[in-house]
């Protein structure tokens, strides 16, 4: 937020108003206000019994880290629609049996962009072949109670909450 020096509406200089979590950018000329609202994302906890599917990130942020299926919502898209689309794009599969598992705050790598991850448990149809997109360099199934740390806090929190609810770990 501190890098918003000029108003996107009228071009006048902006100022930082408020403090802490209430800090926002304000334009004294046209009264434009920009709050640091989180960007919505999805976190797909793809399960097969007591295993979870994780993807190895091929790009920054957090290149090489383990991640879940999911991504940023597009305008006019529900979280469920987004996760189904992301499943097709990232692993070439239709995700099914989506069940809401919770919402989790995060920051997108080192970008400073705040996110709110809407997590869902889901499954793949039987005998599904995974076909990775260029976004990911690999995938693996891990036991819920013995998985590597995840690249983003929202996915990590969702997976940890899922593990604690199932009685594992």
Give the pLDDT of residue 36: 86
Angle CA(98)–CA(104)–CA(106) in degrees, nearest 5? 125
CATH 3.90.79.10 fits 39-166, yes or no: yes
Please provide the average confidence, as pLDDT, over all residues in the chain: 93
Q: Which two tokens stand for residue 157?
A: 């929190």
pLDDT at 161 over 70: yes
104-153 pLDDT, tens digit each? 999 998 888 899 999 999 999 999 999 999 999 999 999 998 999 999 99
- Average pLDDT of the residues in 65-74: 96
Higher pLDDT, 46 or 19: 46
CA angle centred on 45, ends 68 and 135, rounded to 5°: 20
Q: Tokens 């295993």, residue?
A: 51
- The answer, as to whether pTM is greater than 0.85, is yes
- Rounded to whole angstroms, the Cα distance separating 108 from 96 reads 26
- Rounded to whole angstroms, the Cα distance separating 148 from 133 reads 21
Query: Residue 141 is encoded by which pair of tokens?
Result: 């199934």
d(CA 29, CA 41): 33
CA pair distance 4, 26, nearest whole angstrom: 9
Residue spans per domain, the chain: 1-36, 39-166
As a whole number, mean pLDDT of residues 83-98 equals: 97
């Amino acid at each position: 937020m501190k890098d918003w020096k000029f108003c996107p509406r009228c071009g006048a200089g902006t100022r930082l108003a408020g403090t802490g979590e209430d800090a926002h950018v304000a334009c004294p000329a046209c009264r434009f206000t920009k709050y640091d609202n989180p960007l919505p994302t999805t976190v797909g906890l793809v399960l097969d019994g007591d295993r979870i599917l994780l993807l190895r990130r091929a790009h920054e942020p957090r290149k090489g880290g383990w991640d879940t299926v999911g991504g940023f919502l597009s305008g006019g898209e529900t979280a469920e629609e987004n996760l189904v689309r992301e499943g097709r794009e990232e692993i070439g599969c239709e995700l099914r049996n989506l069940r809401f598992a919770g919402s989790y705050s995060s920051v997108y790598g080192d970008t400073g962009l705040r996110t709110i991850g809407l997590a869902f448990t889901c499954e793949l149809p039987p005998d599904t072949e995974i076909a990775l997109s260029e976004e990911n360099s690999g995938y693996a199934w891990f036991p819920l109670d013995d998985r590597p740390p995840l690249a983003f806090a929202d996915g990590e929190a969702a997976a940890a909450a899922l593990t604690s609810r199932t009685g594992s770990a």
